Amino acid sequence: MLEPPDSNAMLSLDSLDRTAIAYLTLPLVVFLVSWFEWWVALPLTMCVGYALKSLITAMPRDHGRAPITRLQLAIAIGVGGGWTAFAGAGHVLFANADWYFRDAVLHDLVTARWPVGYGLSDGKETLLRAPLAFYLPAALIGKWAGLLSADRIMGVWTAFGASLFLLQVVSLLRSRATVALLAAGVIVLFSGFDIIGSIISSGPRFLANWNIAQHIEWWASSYQYSSMTTQLFWVPNHALGGWLMIGLMARHSRYSALDALLPLLLVAAALWSPLSAAGAVPFVLLRAYRRLFVERHWSLAHPRVWSPALLVGAVVGAYLMLDPGGIPKGLSVGSGDVSEAVMDLLGIAQFFLLEAGFIGFAVLLIRPSAEVVMALGVLALLPLVRLGPGNDLVMRGSIPSLAVLAVAACLALSSEGTDPRLKRRKLLLLCLLAIGAVTPIQEFARAVMLNAWPMNLQTTLIDANCGSYPPHYVAHLRGQAIQYLLRAPYRLAVGRRQARGCDNPATDLMWRRGLL
């Protein structure tokens, strides 16, 4: 008979792990309690509490792991806070165009009762259907402190998440200032070769019009793999959940108390970003295969481990999948024309090598890893499919794999040894990382060169989208079962739009500087 995992026989969770888990799961609890009828929210919240009970009942221990030092903590917080300020969170510095829509979502969550709706569209009730984890803590505080305070809190919340991930990475390395700063620098500047791709795709025209503040990651036209800095600067709501999942698994490579929590953590990560959570699934499955079939820890198959996550996940998944018909989807490879399909595959191969392949292979030369091989496999396959208005599956589903490569690069560069080949391979990896660093440097340049703009305190999501209902944010309720579990949506008034309510200030600033 299967028995539940024995917490005394495995690597326990330390304070950093517990903080990261709390960061990931707190929004899930807020969501369940506030968006569902009480008779649904109560048992689901109890399932979350049961799955996480070890965080409360067991004291944190650091068996088999060096303690986190004050030096590592200071570097992670300092770099994480500065990184987030340049990202535009809280509108301290210039915020990129996506923040205008993010501000609108925050506005709606603060000013309207939950769940938020937008009245009738095509004769059907509408509901804000989006991964809300990033917004909920700030929005909850904003209901008491006001919208402007919520914006500031969301900036602090973003900095907290970025710092947590950096601390996860530096905690894997020796506690030396140079090592920690190098690791933080690799994470912040990690990117593929967008500059080379841009030159290949546009040639003299790109060089003639090049501007250090340009966003150059759409050189492949149909898809992009975003640098770590681009992820934070444009889509922290998608990035942070995937990063922290990878950080947790990186810190627990051996049999660990984390293993029993992964099913629920995947559900929590889906509320941050379902596509990013989907990108983390291969790494969870790889870990499960090792534990169950290689190390023979059959206790992880006990229903007590996965059944709470299954119940909560079914409800969260049903919410996230509401009314998906309006979301574009399909294959990226040409159909019906062999020559077109061949050219598409060659383009995908070029994209993969420039964005991940060369760096990944350089990492494997120094430090072979099944996780890196898995990441390269995922990144090679993602461009074959298309999902979302901006091919979001490629951009967001790649986040965990890119985080794996970034963490692996840090570990590879910190490898010790006197073999001359190791030094040459490290130098090669550093050169490749330096080429990729052009992309995040340009993101930082734009944050410095363009002016900060304030949050619009009146614009709703519908206003920000020029009066239309964006299908990847708003769902029509058509009698789905999940509709009867949710509280009745509040109808937010959206008809009192300012004359220029859908003018995105970030887009306007970039246009004036010739960046679009």
Any idea how long the chain is? 516
For 173-229, the pLDDT digits (tens) are 998 999 999 999 999 999 999 999 999 988 888 888 889 999 999 998 888 999 999
Mean pLDDT calculated for residue range 28-42: 97
Q: Which of 271, 273, 236 is nearest to 155 (CA)?
A: 236
Percent of the chain with pLDDT over 70: 93
The gap from C-alpha 251 to its chain's centroid, in whole angstroms, comes to 18
Residue 144 neighbours by CB under 8 Å, 6+ apart: none
Full DSSP string of 178-190: HHHHHHHHHHHH-
35 contacts 255 by C-beta, under 8 angstroms: no
pLDDT at 318 exceeding the cut of 90: yes
Distance CA(246)–CA(198), nearest Å, equals 29
Instruction: Count Cβ atoms below 10 Å from residue 479 Cβ, excluding itself.
Output: 7
**Range with lowest mean pLDDT among 7-11, 39-43, 173-177, 386-390:** 7-11
Q: SS3 for 128?
A: strand
Find tokens 């309207």 and name the residue. 112
| Cα separation values, 230 from 65, 216, 225, 234, 394, Å | 32, 10, 9, 6, 14
Instruction: Count Cβ atoms below 10 Å from residue 303 Cβ, excluding itself.
Output: 10
Q: Which of 252-266, 383-397, 500-514 has the highest mean pLDDT?
A: 252-266
Distance CA(410)–CA(166), nearest Å, equals 11
Handedness of CA 400, 403, 405, 408 (dihedral sign): negative
Residue 326: pLDDT band (50, 70, 90) is low
| Strand (E) or helix (H) holding 150 | helix 147-170
Q: Which of 264, 262, 269 is nearest to 241 (CA)?
A: 269
Helices (H) and strands (E) in the chain, counts: 24, 7
Distance CA(261)–CA(52), nearest Å, equals 7
Mean pLDDT calculated for residue range 326-350: 78
For 67-86, the pLDDT digits (tens) are 889 999 999 999 999 999 99
* Beta bridge partner(s), residue 113: none
State the amino acid at position 262 in one-letter form.
Answer: L
Q: Which of 426, 505, 405, 512 is nearest to 99 (CA)?
A: 505
Q: Are strands 116-117 and 490-491 parallel, antiparallel or unpaired?
A: parallel
**Range with lowest mean pLDDT among 196-200, 302-306, 401-405, 428-432:** 302-306
332 contacts 344 by C-beta, under 8 angstroms: yes
Distance CA(402)–CA(229), nearest Å, equals 12
| Cα separation values, 200 from 101, 203, 219, 221, Å | 33, 6, 9, 12
User: Domain ranges in the chain?
Assistant: 9-91+161-457
Predicted local confidence at residue 120, as pLDDT: 87
60 contacts 47 by C-beta, under 8 angstroms: no
This prediction has a pTM of 0.94
Q: Which of 20-24, 60-64, 201-205, 487-491 has the highest mean pLDDT?
A: 20-24
Q: Which of 361, 366, 360 is nearest to 425 (CA)?
A: 366
Burial class of residue 385 in the structure, from the number of CB atoms within 10 Å of its CB (0-12 exposed, 13-18 middle, 19+ buried): middle
**Considering just the CA atoms, what is the radius of gyration of the chain in Å?**
23
Instruction: Count Cβ atoms below 10 Å from residue 110 Cβ, excluding itself.
Output: 24
State the amino acid at position 294 in one-letter form.
Answer: V
| Cα separation values, 363 from 286, 406, 413, Å | 19, 10, 9
For 42-72, the pLDDT digits (tens) are 999 999 999 998 777 665 655 556 788 999 9
Distance CA(243)–CA(246), nearest Å, equals 5
**Torsions phi, psi for 341 (to 5 deg):** -65, -40
Predicted local confidence at residue 1, as pLDDT: 33
* Beta bridge partner(s), residue 490: 116
